Each structure stands twice: as C-alpha cells, then as structure tokens.
C-alpha cells in the first residue's frame, strides 16, 4: 500500500474515532439534560387557541379587512390578547407597541369607512397587507423601539428609524406589533441571552426554539402573530422555523436589503451570507411577503410566474455525507424525506435523483471561512458593542461568579474563533475558492428548473442547553448561506415526541419562486403547520 493510501486510511480512522467520541459525549449529555429537565418538573402547557381569527393566514386577514369582513382593530386586539396569554409561558416577546398598533388599526378601519377609500382591488395592489399586524426579531430596527440584539450593553439603545424591510412592510399597510427574542448578538442557534432570558418551544417547553430568530419562530407557531420578519446568516430563519413547525424563507443573496439590522455584516463575504426574509404559518404568505421585502428586486425573482411542479428537476441528499462532529440525521427525518420523494414521484411523475456532493462534508469550515473578519473585528469586538474588545478571560471568571453580562456560549464562541482560520491566510483563501467551486457545482445541477431537498437540521429541537454538545449541527443550513441560494424551511408534521420536523427546499440563484411553490405543494400534501389544541 502506498504512503498516500496509508495516510488516507489513518485520517479516516481518526475521523471515525472522533465521531465515536462525539456520539458518546452527545449521549451522556442527553441523559444529563433529561435528568435536569425531570428535576424541573413537567413541561408547561401553553393556552389553547380560542379565537378563530388567529387561524387565518396573513393574506386571508388582509382580504377580509379590505372587504370589510373583519376590522383591523379586532384582529390586532386578538393578537395582543394571544401574546399576553403565551408570553408568561414561552417568553417569545421582548417589547410591544400594543397601544400604537391599536391606534394605527383604528385609523385603517376609519379610512375604509371614508369616501376616499379605494376599491378592494386597488387596495390589494397598493397595500396588500393593509391593517395586518406583524412582528419582527429584535435585531431588525423598528423606529422608537429598543434594538438590543440580546446584548446587555445595548439594553437602552432605541432605533431612530425603521429598517428598510420594516419601512416596506409599513408601506404595504402592515402594522408592527412587537419585537421578539434572539440569541446574544444573533450568533447561536438557541435563543437565550442575559437581557431577556430563554425562549421556550411551544410544543414542549423543555426544548429550544432555535436561533437567532427563535422568538419569532415561537410566536408564529403559538399563533401570536400572523406573519414575521427574520434574518439568516447561518440558518437563523430556517432553524427556528423548523424547530417550531412553521414556514421560513431565506431569499437569494442580495435580493432583500439588510439596512437597519444589528449587528450588520462586517465584510463582503458576510454580506453575501446575510439575508432577511419571511416567517409564517402558511406557505401561501411567503411569496406576497417576499415580494414586498424584495421591493425593486422582486422583478428578478419572477414571483408572479406560475410554477409547474411536474416540469421541475428534483434532487436530494438525506445527510451531508458524514461531516465531522455533526449529529447523524434522525431516522424520522430521513423517513419524512422519503415520504416527500414518494409523494412527488407519485403525484407528478417526476424522477427524484439522489446526489453525493462531497464538499458538503466541509460545510462548517466553508461557512467559518466566509464569516471570518479582518482588522481584528472579531466576536470580542462585537460583544463590546463595537467599542473596543471585551477581556475574554476576565468575562469567563465573572461568569463563574454569576457576574458576567454575557452567555457562556457567547464567550465560548469568541474563544473558538481565536483558533479558527484567519482571514487572508492560505487556508482561508483555499476555503473561499472551494466555496465558489461548490456554488458553481450547485448552479450547474440546479440551473433554472432544479430543486434540492436537504435536511434543515439533523435532529428535532434539542433540550435547553443541549446545543453546547451539538455545536456544529447548524452546518446543514449554514452551507446554503455560503452558496447564496434561496431556501425554504418546510414543516412535515411532528415526530413521535410531538416535536416538529421537516426539510429545506433549495433552488438555484434567484429561483425563489420554485422553492416556495414546492413548499406550498408539500403543505397541501402533508398538512403544514400543526396548531396547538383548539377550543371551539
């Protein structure tokens, strides 16, 4: 055997040993977290939905408002009442503007009663979400509301203006209702911070809601808002959407403005990763919301064009091929993927082709290379609110004495970053080049009529704090950010533990309408969002 083959076998053995050790750590940690959860008592139950207004899609609410079948004030009050019910249990909201929202809703109703009121058709065209309330994550600026990004030092910082996406939603007639909780500086996939605490999963409060748009995913799933706006730099829309059983869409790179989000991207590579998009319970709402958020770029996406599912080319992978230190994809998720494939093949007579894209094994490394910053603007700089750098070791000492204003995971992230690939190094240059090669490979496969089915996450929502031993599981979504491709998180029901599962649907660049159309079809085939208990 040649030296090259010997080295390859040695590396393969080392990977297998590392993965085996990681599986063991995961198993032991799971038992510990289950025991801690048991000591804390049973999961809390959220109040059931009693108001059937809460079960309408956002587009249906808009239709009923402009046709005077429902009043905006009535709808806004229903959602205010719902948030007040769920907030003590789920802790998804951070700040409300209930009083102002009710005033704005009343103005909408009065306008519709006036002689100057346009026809429903004209209103649908000019202000498609007239009178409909919405929520957004705390990172996205809403004028005269706090914009903390979950960072304690920002607890008194108030946004002076609306982020561009909020302005566009207002122009479309929508009414901001509240902001929702995030992970500290939007850089972790469990929503918890030292300012507002931890958000809990509406299907089982022992489990996480994902991050960073976790509060938004939670409030949508619990019927506390008809639609929401999230942002996604490594899965921050799709992971919370997946864990909470709703729909979420990360648009193609560069389509939606990121103006008014904090923290903002620090480099051109980060700008390509970051995208703002819709989160909602009903797939039919995705395209109308995206059309508003995309503004002048909406024409690039051809969102009004009808999609013929039978003419699409379908591809899939059940996992990433065995990336180091990521959890194996759970069997129930793989089976859900297989059911989708069988459904598409039977309903549309299409052939769904299995792929083996080797570079997906390097997803984490590729994402981290694209996230790296020059000029020492690392995570310790971000944790200082971009005012110098925190003393990392001093903060660790303070944390052990319950005196730090930072979460443990934020400090660990800052520590890990110091050992990651350095911006401008040979390794960094190589990984960036591999990112571009992987993008070209995907574009060659997908083109303008291809769709790629891929797990959103290898497991259902973990227990609180469990992501600490599953840190790299976000790579399933992060690699799609590296590629800049559109991706829609699509729920596929609940697993045996009653937690949501699903997949992400990926398209070629600017083919957002394809992924949304497939999500709409799978909603029809598999039921979409599963609501909590309804009381008639």
State the pLDDT confidence band at 536, using cuts at 50, 70 and 90.
very low
137 is catalytic: yes
Q: What percent of the chain has pLDDT over 90?
A: 90
Work out the average pLDDT over 402-408.
96
The total of structural domains in the chain comes to 1
* Residue 13 resides in a domain: no
Residue with tokens 């997906």: 360
User: In this structure, are residues 451 and 506 in contact, taking their beta carbons and an 8 Å threshold?
Assistant: yes
Residue with the bigger pLDDT between 10 and 474: it is 474
What's the Cα-to-Cα distance from 416 to each of 24, 90, 403, rounded to whole Å? 22, 31, 22
Whether the pLDDT of residue 1 is over 70: the answer is no
Closest CA to 141 of 102, 172, 173, 169: 169
pTM: 0.96
Report CA torsion sign: 169, 171, 173, 176: positive
* Residue 531 resides in a domain: no
* Residue 479 resides in a domain: yes
Which of 57, 159, 213, 236 is catalytic? The answer is 236
Work out the average pLDDT over 224-236.
98
Q: Which two tokens stand for residue 117?
A: 């009121």
* Residue 4 resides in a domain: no
Which of 137, 291, 362, 470 is catalytic? The answer is 137
236 is catalytic: yes
Domain around 295: 42-372+420-526
* Residue 391 resides in a domain: no
What's the Cα-to-Cα distance from 521 to each of 191, 303, 436, 439, rounded to whole Å? 30, 16, 31, 27
* Residue 388 resides in a domain: no
Q: Is 119 helix (H, G, I), strand (E, B) or coil?
A: coil
In CATH, what number is assigned to the domain containing residue 78? Answer: 3.90.1300.10
CA gap 314, 354 in Å, rounded: 9
Closest CA to 460 of 341, 364, 332, 338: 332
User: In this structure, are residues 228 and 247 in contact, taking their beta carbons and an 8 Å threshold?
Assistant: no
Helix axes 475-483, 426-446, angle to 10 degrees: 80
Measured at the alpha carbon of residue 67, what is the angle toward residues 66 and 73, in degrees to the nearest 5?
55
Q: What percent of the chain has pLDDT over 70?
A: 98
Whether the pLDDT of residue 12 is over 80: the answer is no
Work out the average pLDDT over 177-201.
97
212 is catalytic: yes
State the pLDDT confidence band at 375, using cuts at 50, 70 and 90.
confident
Q: Is 230 helix (H, G, I), strand (E, B) or coil?
A: strand
Q: Is 355 helix (H, G, I), strand (E, B) or coil?
A: coil
Which of 159, 192, 212, 372 is catalytic? The answer is 212
List, for residues 250-305, the tens digit of each pLDDT value: 999 999 999 999 999 988 999 999 999 999 999 999 999 999 999 999 999 999 99
CA gap 126, 21 in Å, rounded: 58
* Residue 178 resides in a domain: yes
Whether the pLDDT of residue 9 is over 80: the answer is no
């Amino acid at each position: 055997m040649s030296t090259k083959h010997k080295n390859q076998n040695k590396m393969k053995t080392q990977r297998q040993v590392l993965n085996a050790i990681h599986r063991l750590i995961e198993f032991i940690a799971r038992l510990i977290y289950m025991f801690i959860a048991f000591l804390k008592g049973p999961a809390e139950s959220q109040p059931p939905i009693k108001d059937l207004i809460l079960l309408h899609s956002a587009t249906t609410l808009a239709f009923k408002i402009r046709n005077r079948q429902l009043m905006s004030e009535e709808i806004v009050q229903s959602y205010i009442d719902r948030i007040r019910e769920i907030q003590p249990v789920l802790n998804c909201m951070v700040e409300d503007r209930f009083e102002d929202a009710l005033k704005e809703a009343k103005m909408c109703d009065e306008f519709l009663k006036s002689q100057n009121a346009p026809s429903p058709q004209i209103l649908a065209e000019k202000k498609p979400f007239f009178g409909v309330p919405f929520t957004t994550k705390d990172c996205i600026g809403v004028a005269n509301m706090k914009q903390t990004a979950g960072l304690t030092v920002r607890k008194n910082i108030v946004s002076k203006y609306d982020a561009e996406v909020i302005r566009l939603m207002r122009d479309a007639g929508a009414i901001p209702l509240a902001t929702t909780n995030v992970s500290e500086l939007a850089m972790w996939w469990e929503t918890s911070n030292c300012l507002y605490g931890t958000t809990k999963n509406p299907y089982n409060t022992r489990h996480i809601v994902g991050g960073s748009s976790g509060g938004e995913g939670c409030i949508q799933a619990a019927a506390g808002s008809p639609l929401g706006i999230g942002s996604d730099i490594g899965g921050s829309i799709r992971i919370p959407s997946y864990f909470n059983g709703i729909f979420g869409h990360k648009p193609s790179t560069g389509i939606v403005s990121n103006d008014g989000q904090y923290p903002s991207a620090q480099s051109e590579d980060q700008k390509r990763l970051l995208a703002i998009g819709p989160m909602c319970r009903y797939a039919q709402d995705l395209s109308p919301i995206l059309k508003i958020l995309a503004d002048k770029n909406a024409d690039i996406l051809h969102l009004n064009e009808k999609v013929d599912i039978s003419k699409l080319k379908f591809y899939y992978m059940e996992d990433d091929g065995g990336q180091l230190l990521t959890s194996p994809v759970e069997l129930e998720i793989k089976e859900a993927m297989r059911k989708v494939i069988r459904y598409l093949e039977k309903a549309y007579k299409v052939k769904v082709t299995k792929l083996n894209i080797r570079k997906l094994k390097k997803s984490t490394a590729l994402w981290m290379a694209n996230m790296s910053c020059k000029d020492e603007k690392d995570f310790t700089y971000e944790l200082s609110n971009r005012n110098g750098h925190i003393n990392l070791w001093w903060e660790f000492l303070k944390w052990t004495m319950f005196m730090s204003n930072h979460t443990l995971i934020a400090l660990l992230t800052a520590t890990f970053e110091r050992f990651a690939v350095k911006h401008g190094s040979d390794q960094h240059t190589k990984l960036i080049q591999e990112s571009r090669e992987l993008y070209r490979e995907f574009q060659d496969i997908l083109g303008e009529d291809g769709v790629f089915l891929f797990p959103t996450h290898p497991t259902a929502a973990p227990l609180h704090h469990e992501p600490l031993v599953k840190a790299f599981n976000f790579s399933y979504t992060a690699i799609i950010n590296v590629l800049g491709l559109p991706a829609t998180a699509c729920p596929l029901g609940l697993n045996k533990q009653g937690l949501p599962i699903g997949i992400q649907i990926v398209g070629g660049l600017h083919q957002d309408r394809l992924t949304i159309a497939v999500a709409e079809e799978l909603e029809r085939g598999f039921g979409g969002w599963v609501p909590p208990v309804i009381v008639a």
